[in-house]
Amino acid sequence: MIEVHEANGVDVIIEDAFLLPHRKDYYFFAFIEQGSSRHWIDFTSYTVKPGHFYFTVPQQIHLKEESTPVKGYIAGFTEEFLLLEENRMLRQLPVIQNHAGAHEIVLSAEDIIYVEDVMRKMAIEYKIGGTWQNQMLASWLRVLIIYLSRIYTEQFGESKITQNHWLLKNFQELIGDNHTQLHDVSAYANLLHLTPGYLNDVVKQQSGKTAISHIHNRLVVEAKRRLLHTDLSVKQIADELGFEDAAYFNRFFKRLTNSTPMAFRQQIREMYS
């Protein structure tokens, strides 16, 4: 459930496949000490910088533009790690919830020393192993997530999601699993054994957005990902996302983005290049 590696600043440790658009099915952490390269996460480009920490959640699309060596540490951990009883509180922490939609944290000199120490110990433990290896890795990872959440809060503000906001989180997870089949609030309310009105009221209170907005936003994100990273036609994308009619999908996309799917594809690919 946890994997950690050290990048030595000389060898390139990424595979060629990472130079193509790809999804990671795990949480990804990267602490950069030296080196620089351009990296895309969904529709945002980052120039990787020393003294910065980068993080993503599962299913986001990554693209590294060139294979260059960096010095630092990378770590990955799965959703299963967060589902363990002793780790459930971690799911509520800001760097995991990521209410600001951020992927980059700027570290102070003191933060760099602390994060480097923790991740170095994790990398050594992962490489050498020994008695209670999994427990050691899990313990250090808990410390790292909590420490990064403190910095996240300082840089991006207090998270709006607390332990009492389980319904919003469950709703968002259901959207992630079912957005290609279910497009209406009542379907998700049925899965949660709630009335549509109650679900909408709670979601709006906790997030400031209606329940249908969450569903539509996820569909738009997935459509944008396909428009950018594939050569699928608009009709094929509409089919994959569960729209019976390509014309309706066009209207839906334009209403939410002020752009047609093809216009968005042209614009984002020009930015990408």
pLDDT at 82: 85
DSSP string, 10-54: SS--S-GGGGS-EE-SSEEEEEEEE---EEEETTEEEE--TTEEE
Judge whether 249 and 261 are in contact, CB under 8 Å.
Answer: yes
Q: How confident is the model at residue 164 (pLDDT cuts 50, 70, 90)?
A: very low
**Is residue 98 scored above 90 in pLDDT?**
no
3-class state of residue 76 by DSSP: strand
Whether residue 134 is found in the same domain as residue 211: no
Are 259 and 131 in the same domain?
no
Which CATH number belongs to the domain containing residue 10 in this structure?
A: 2.60.120.280
CA 56 from centroid of its chain's CA atoms: 4
| Residue whose pair of structure tokens reads 């990521």 in the numeric block | 98
pLDDT at 63 (0 to 100)? 74
Q: What is the 3-state secondary structure (H, E, C) of 213-267?
A: HHHHHHHHHHHHHHHHHCCCCHHHHHHHCCCCCHHHHHHHHHHHHCCCHHHHHHH
User: Residue 180 in contact with residue 242, Cβ under 8 Å?
Assistant: yes
> Higher model confidence: residue 86 or residue 211?
211
- HSE of 125 in the Cβ direction (CA atoms, 13 Å)? 21
**pLDDT, tens only, 31-81:** 999 988 877 787 677 888 899 999 988 877 777 777 677 899 999 998 888
Taking the C-alpha atoms of residue 195 and residue 263, their distance in angstroms, rounded to an integer, is 38
Q: In the predicted model, is pLDDT for residue 165 greater than 70?
A: no
pLDDT of residue 61: 77
Q: What is the pLDDT of residues 203-216, one digit of tens each?
A: 887 777 899 999 99
Judgement on whether residues 179 and 91 belong to the same structural domain of the protein: no
> Cα dist. 153→89, 157, 216 in Å?
16, 5, 28
- CA proximity to 40, closest of 59, 61, 26, 54: 61
**pLDDT at residue 271 tops 50:** yes
Is there a single domain that holds both residue 188 and residue 222?
A: yes
Looking at the structure of the chain, the number of domains it has is 2
Is the pLDDT at 111 greater than 60, yes or no?
yes
pTM above 0.85, yes or no: no
pLDDT surpassing 70 at residue 109 = yes
The torsion of the CA quartet 209, 213, 218, 220, rounded to 10 degrees, works out to: -130
- The last residue of a domain, from among 156, 176, 200: 156
Instruction: Give the per-residue pLDDT at 13.
Output: 59
Buried b (16+ CB within 10 A) or exposed e, 88-114: eebbbbbbbbbeeeebbbebeeebbeb
CATH of the domain at 191: 1.10.10.60
Q: From CA 31, how far away is CA 75, in angstroms rounded?
A: 9
Beta strands in 78-181 (DSSP E): 104-106
Shared-domain flag, residues 96 and 184: no
Spell out the residues 6+ positions from residue 139 whose beta carbon is closer than 8 angstroms to its own: none
Please tell me whether residues 141 and 6 are part of one structural domain: yes
pLDDT at 18: 60
Q: Is residue 161 part of a domain?
A: no
Which stretch, 78-92, 175-189, 207-221, has highest mean pLDDT? 175-189
Q: Which is more confidently placed, 131 or 160?
A: 131
Residue type, 216: H
Structure confidence at residue 97 (pLDDT): 83
Q: Which domain holds residue 173?
A: 166-272
Average pLDDT, the chain: 87
Any domain includes 242: yes
193 shares a domain with 232: yes
130 class by beta-carbon count within 10 Å (0-12 exposed, 13-18 middle, 19+ buried) = exposed
Does 88 or 9 have the greater pLDDT score?
Answer: 88
pLDDT band at 160; cut points 50, 70, 90: very low
